[in-house]
Structure 1
Amino acid sequence: MKLLLLIPVGFIVGTIGTLIGAGGGFLLMPFMMLYFSNGSPKDLTAISMIAIFFNSLSGTYAYMKMKRVEIKTAITFSLITIPGSIIGTIITSFIDRERYNLAFGIFLILIVIFLLFFKKIGEGDNKNSSFIKTCRVKDSSGTEYNFSYNLLTGLILSFIVGFLSPVFGIGGGVLHVPFMIKLLCFPPHIATATSHFVLMVMSFVSVLTHIFSKVDRFVLLNSLMIVIGIIPGAQLGARLSKKVHGNFLLYFLSIALFIVAVRILFLKG
């Protein structure tokens, strides 16, 4: 029965995670920290990253059909996350649970502060740089998005996201999407879709690293149950994104993260 509960949990995580482009790890990881109170950070992050990979794979497929992924940017950012993802995955083996809970809670609070109070930079602030990349995306509904961003800043942020993602088991979208919107001036809907592609590659690398370091039956069985629900949930989330205003994505993400952060900070090791 405990295993079967993970299927609807996966569906909810897949729907919300894909809707806001965060992969769902920011919801799944805190749930597992409560559900598997004796689980090690290494096992819990392994389950989360496996689930996130299948969620981002399903979500990316849906977003590609909508033509909302900025392909060249997605590939470039994906490549730079790989070394960070490998290093971050290895580090999880050396983190104890009590310190992990504290670090994770503080980390989420900082993201909420960034989302709510950090002013989005203007595109004009970027244009003085020689690293500017201009993009044009026309989605399947005919809506056209024109924007530019600082490539060097994007690469640095992507490496950081690649490192932190497997350490906290959150996938990275919860970091990447705010960074892309606030610092790189991406339109919210393009940021969520492009971030999902990056997340797919990044989580795949993390999963492979976990496999090479050996995962047990506990990890595989629980991952399977979550994945059964997460794949259809991701499809629903991508469809719902068509009807959601960009600013709502940021506010929803902020509220969810704050609630989760407070709960995690009151967990006992």
Structure 2
Amino acid sequence: MDLLNITFTASGVTTSVLIPPLFAFVLSFFTSMGGVSGAVLILPFQVSFLQFTSPAVNSTNLLYNVVGIPGGVYRYIKEGKMVWPLTWIIIIGTIPGVFIGYYLRVKYLPEPGKFKLFIAAVLLYIGTRLLLGSLSKATGGKTAAPAANITSPVVISNASMSLSRVSYDFKGETLSFNTMSMFTLAFIVGIVGGTYGIGGGAIIAPFCVTLFNLPVYTVAGPALMGTFITSIFGVAFYALIPVNGATAPPDWPLGLLFGAGGFAGMYLGARVQKHMPEKTIKLILSVIFYIIALRYAYQYFQ
């Protein structure tokens, strides 16, 4: 097994070439069902397990998104699960947020302890809302999908968008949300995602589910697409725009290995999603966000 160990020059990380893709594959399989790329856990894995702590870890994490997410996005598009108006709002709102987040990370938060505590509080809130939703007898009122219809081939239709409202049909019901409210959420999430290198839309799906009461089946595809596009911009920001006289380009080989595992995991996760009850997906996401939140809180108080 020592023959498989390699030292990545850019980051100084020494590990088996099998660990990054395998870890990313397993994680992405589960998180992609809820529109989360897995970057939120891969970043702490790189920092804590691989001891990769420089700002370049953020851009490496974003590179994982760029390589891995297309597998899940392709599957969601093929199955008709892409709400395009929501997708464009996420992309347009998060791109400027990602740039601000990059600037904050490199300029002011090289050791972002207090900001991690803030993120822990946000994720605990999201995790709690998702957990309560997964444990409730009802799956969320009129926005819930009947369990018997989960495997139907077409779930999104008649999507429309105006400056005030976005609406679309899902399982025979019309769902809608305020355009500017979603845009504002995307912008704020973009700042957080850019700061920690998890992609602009990486944590927007749970907000869409808990704050806007949108079914996770209709949110996952747009959230992943938004994360993919904003991650491309994020990698460019870190690699090309100097702050304090230096850039923070990714460790390309390491990011590509994570991305390769993520691509396969997200494709399979998106394919399996229709067979998973929404409550189960919410429970999986809540556990993931609790893990991240508690770890960040522990690091702050340690």
Q: Same fold (TM over 0.5)?
A: yes
Query: What is the 5 A alignment of 1:1-269?
Result: 1=5, 2-4=15-17, 5-37=19-51, 39-40=53-54, 42-96=55-109, 98=111, 100-117=112-129, 131-137=164-170, 143-144=171-172, 146-213=174-241, 214-216=247-249, 219-267=251-299
Cα distance in 1 for residues equivalent to 2:56 and 2:74? 28
Letter in 1 for 2:29: T
Q: CA shift at 1:96, angstroms?
A: 4.8
Q: CA shift at 1:122, angstroms?
A: 8.2
1:29–1:169 CA contact under 8 A, matched in 2: yes
**Residues 1:108 and 1:248: Cα distance change in structure 2 (over 3 Å):** farther
**Residues 1:197 and 1:145: Cα distance change in structure 2 (over 3 Å):** farther
Q: CA shift at 1:174, angstroms?
A: 4.8
2:34–2:219 CA contact under 8 A, matched in 1: no
Q: CA shift at 1:104, angstroms?
A: 2.4
Letter in 2 for 1:251: L
Tell me whether 197-206 or 173-182 shows the greater mean CA deviation.
173-182
1:198-257 CA-partner distances (Å, limit 9, x unpaired) = 1111111111212213445x7112112112211111111111211111122222111122
1:109–1:258 CA contact under 8 A, matched in 2: no
| RMSD (Å) for aligned C-alpha atoms | 2.6
**Residues 1:174 and 1:77: Cα distance change in structure 2 (over 3 Å):** closer
Q: CA shift at 1:261, angstroms?
A: 2.6
Q: In terms of Rg, which structure is larger? A: 2
1:111-166 CA-partner distances (Å, limit 9, x unpaired) = 2323424899988xxxxxx92322125xxxxx555301111110100111111112
Structure (1 or 2) with the greater helix fraction: 1
Unaligned runs of 5+ in 1: 124-129, 138-142
**Residues 1:212 and 1:147: Cα distance change in structure 2 (over 3 Å):** same
- Classify the secondary structure of the residue corresponding to 1:39: coil
Q: CA shift at 1:265, angstroms?
A: 3.3
**Count of aligned pairs between the two proteins:** 255
TM (norm. structure 2) is 0.75
Unaligned runs of 5+ in 2: 6-14, 134-139, 143-162, 242-246
- Classify the secondary structure of the residue corresponding to 1:67: coil
Letter in 1 for 2:289: L
- Classify the secondary structure of the residue corresponding to 2:36: coil
Q: CA shift at 1:26, angstroms?
A: 1.4
- Classify the secondary structure of the residue corresponding to 2:198: coil
- Classify the secondary structure of the residue corresponding to 2:230: helix
Letter in 2 for 1:255: V
Cα distance in 2 for residues equivalent to 1:227 and 1:250? 24
1:3–1:222 CA contact under 8 A, matched in 2: no
Identity of aligned residues (%): 20
Cα distance in 1 for residues equivalent to 2:289 and 2:21? 22
